[in-house]
C-alpha cells in the first residue's frame, strides 16, 4: 500500500496539513493527500533540478509548496538541522509523529 492510500485510510476526505516528501518525481501522490491550505515541502538532492511545474488543479485549494536541498542546509545551517532532528526524534518517541 502506498503512502497516499495510508493517509486516505487514516484521514478520509480531509488529508494532511503538512507533507514532507523526500521522493521528488513520485507523480501527483503528494498533491492527492493534502488538505486545503496545506503545505508540501519537497527535499531534493544536490545537483538535481528543481521542479517548477505544479499540478494546477490543486492550486484551487490554496496550497503552499517549497523545495529544499537538505545537503545545503546541513552545510550552511548545521545547528538548525540539529534542532529539527532533535525535535522530530522527540515527537517520534512520544508517539506524536
> What phi and psi values does residue 41 have, to the nearest 5 degrees?
-115, 120
78 is a domain residue: no
42 is a domain residue: yes
**pLDDT at residue 32, rounded to an integer:** 76
DSSP 24-42: TTSTTHHHHTEEEEEEEEE
Count Cα atoms within 13 angstroms, Cβ side, for 72.
Answer: 9
80 is a domain residue: no
Q: Which segments in the chain show pLDDT lower than 50?
A: none
CA dist., res. 61 & res. 46, Å (int): 30
Query: What is the value of pTM for the model shown?
Result: 0.65
> What phi and psi values does residue 16 have, to the nearest 5 degrees?
-105, 155
**Looking at residue 59, which CATH number applies to its domain?**
3.40.50.720
CA dist., res. 33 & res. 82, Å (int): 29
Amino acid at each position: 500500500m502506498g503512502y497516499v492510500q495510508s493517509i486516505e485510510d487514516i484521514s478520509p476526505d480531509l488529508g494532511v496539513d503538512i507533507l514532507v516528501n523526500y521522493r521528488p518525481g513520485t507523480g501527483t501522490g503528494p498533491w492527492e493527500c493534502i488538505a486545503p491550505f496545506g503545505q508540501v515541502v519537497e527535499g531534493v538532492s544536490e545537483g538535481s533540478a528543481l521542479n517548477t511545474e505544479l499540478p494546477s488543479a490543486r492550486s484551487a485549494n490554496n496550497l503552499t509548496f517549497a523545495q529544499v536541498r537538505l545537503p545545503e542546509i546541513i552545510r550552511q545551517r548545521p545547528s538548525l538541522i540539529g534542532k529539527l532532528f532533535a525535535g522530530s526524534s522527540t515527537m517520534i518517541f512520544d508517539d506524536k509523529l
